[in-house]
Amino acid sequence: MVARPVGGLSFPRTGFHPLSGRTILQIIPELEAGGAERTAVDIAAGLAKVGARAVVATEGGRLVGELQAKGGIWAPFPAGSKNPLGMLYNVRCLAKLCLDEGVALIHARSRAPAWVGLGAARALNLPFVTTFHGSYAGGSSVKILYNSVMTRGDAVIANSHYTAGLVRSLSPQASERIRVIHRGTDFAKFSPSAVGPDRVEALRKAWGVAPHERIVLLAARLTGWKGQKVLIEAAGKLNGEGLADVAFVLAGDAQGRDSYVRELDQLIESNGLTGVVRRVGHCEDMPAAFLAASVVTVPSTEPEAFGRSAVEAQAMGAPVVVSDLGAVPETVLTPPEVSAQERTGWRVPAGDAAALSQALAAALAMGASAREAMATRARLHVERHFSLERMVEDTLDVYISLLEVRAKAPAS
């Protein structure tokens, strides 16, 4: 009988899994759209597939239906409460929930729920896992203490090597418990073969892009550090150098930042880029958006905790140009780490519009064969390192390892 190793164990391919029949509880404030929320649903689905019970304690949100459809169990819980007395009460409530549901392990994905999860886990002698989905700012002693709960897990998951470095600087004693597990992408969804030409055409029409125009896409919410101003400046340089028939598309919600939107519009107008740089609002169909793009750029001026857009764009075959800052460089292969023939995109200094314009020009100048070869390399690269399956397997490995250790520990 053939066996596959998981978390240091081997189990036969008969449907048995070390987590089968176990109940794993994730706790998160709510299940609205976001990286942490999406990951919670993905892990719940992975647990359900191996026969585990996947409970998510949360206030609710738009992803609850998807959670339940994929085999997860929603446990309505005021996990977002930051009131100290409310959090103390929540520890007792969560402990009771864990006893009622036979929970074997608690996984927290945010600070306030982590304090509650830590209290319940310690009271019941359960393994406790935390995930850093990003960095946490705080200079005061109170804020530092509040943030520190995320380093107190028996395993501390960081969504990138960059984030792991931040965790080590915050809590050097947690170094041995840190496990880097990159955010996973669903490559069945983000696949050129999964997107019909009608979807691409619908987007181009909605964005007012003519058939002969190519698209440089920046897909991010409209906020200063996402680099929209840097792209506008780079577009101005390229326009001044004679680049034509290229639409620079800013796809993203303003989320109430009206003054920033006015700044962008004024910058577009003052650079003579009206009709060249276009704000198109939120985009629901990101696979089609990346497939429509000739180049995708992530010109962030502050560090990103992960590079999801760069990964998804590479999966769709789009050349990418990203800031050499934060975690995004972990997702893109460029010289000098690899040869020029192995590159999957370009990295440029953050905030450097001239460097960005040069990289965009190089990407746009690629011939069909070079572009096709890069698309193939990029797809293989992200499939190897950033798949949804790998994220789920690595996370379940963490659970298995902790449960093994707890099972072997002498009774207190």
Instruction: Clarify whether residues 67 and 171 are in a common domain.
Output: yes
Question: Taking 50 as the threshold, does the pLDDT of residue 146 lie above it?
Answer: yes
Q: How confident is the model at residue 134 (pLDDT cuts 50, 70, 90)?
A: confident
393 in the same domain as 354:
no
Read off the pLDDT of residues 233-283 as tens digits, 9 standing for 90 and up: 999 999 999 999 999 999 998 878 899 999 999 999 999 999 999 999 999
Binned at pLDDT 50, 70 and 90, residue 138 comes out as low
User: By residue range, what is the domain housing residue 93?
Assistant: 3-184+388-408
Question: At residue 393, does pLDDT exceed 50?
Answer: yes
* pLDDT at site 177: 96
- Per-residue pLDDT of 201-231, as tens digits, reads 999 999 999 999 999 999 999 999 999 999 9
Give me Rg for the CA atoms of the chain: 23
**pLDDT at residue 65 is higher than 50:** yes
pLDDT at 15: 55
What pLDDT, on a 0 to 100 scale, did the predictor assign at position 24? 98
Q: What is the pLDDT of residue 83?
A: 93
CA-based angle 247:253:255, to the nearest 5? 150
**Residue 3: its pLDDT value, please?**
35
pLDDT for the residue numbered 170: 83
DSSP helix/strand/coil, 29: coil
Q: Which residue has the higher pLDDT, 145 or 360?
A: 360
- Whether 172 and 239 map to the same domain: the answer is no
On whether both 395 and 338 belong to a single domain, the answer is: no
3-state DSSP helix/strand/coil % of the chain, to nearest 5: 45, 20, 35
Question: Does residue 199 sit in the same domain as residue 269?
Answer: yes
DSSP 60-84: --TTHHHHHHTT-EEEE--TT---H
What pLDDT score does 13 carry?
A: 42
State the Cα–Cα distance between residues 16 and 8, nearest whole angstrom. Answer: 15
Instruction: Tell me the C-alpha distance between 27 and 107, whole Å.
Output: 6
pLDDT at 45 over 70: yes
Q: Is residue 106 helix, strand or coil?
A: strand
Regarding whether 262 and 368 lie in a shared domain, the answer is yes
Residue 351 has pLDDT above 80, yes or no: yes
Average pLDDT over residues 351-362: 98
Same domain, 75 and 94: yes
pLDDT of res. 137: 67
Sign of CA dihedral 176, 45, 400, 23: positive
Task: Rounding to the nearest 10 degrees, give the CA dihedral for residues 113, 119, 124, 125.
Answer: 100
Mind listing the pLDDT tens digit for each residue in 156-200? 999 999 999 999 988 899 999 999 999 999 999 999 999 999 999
User: Confidence class of residue 333 from pLDDT cuts 50, 70 and 90?
Assistant: very high
Q: What is the pLDDT of residue 142?
A: 83
Q: Is the pLDDT of residue 10 over 50?
A: no
Q: Kindly tell me the burial class for residue 188, based on how many C-beta atoms sit within 10 Å of its own C-beta (0-12, 13-18, 19 or more).
A: exposed
Find the mean pLDDT for residues 337-344.
94
pLDDT at 1 over 90: no
How many structural domains comprise the chain? 2
- Whole-number average pLDDT of the chain: 92
270/343 same-domain check = yes
> What CATH code is carried by the domain that includes residue 15?
3.40.50.2000
What gap in Å lies between CA 46 and CA 24, rounded to an integer?
Answer: 11
Asked whether the beta carbons of 319 and 363 are under 8 A apart, the reply is yes
What is the distance of C-alpha 326 from the center of its chain? 13
Looking at the fold, whether 237 and 298 belong to one and the same domain comes out as yes
Judgement on whether residues 296 and 323 belong to the same structural domain of the protein = yes
Q: Are residues 146 and 222 in the same domain?
A: no
Q: What is the pLDDT at residue 410?
A: 74
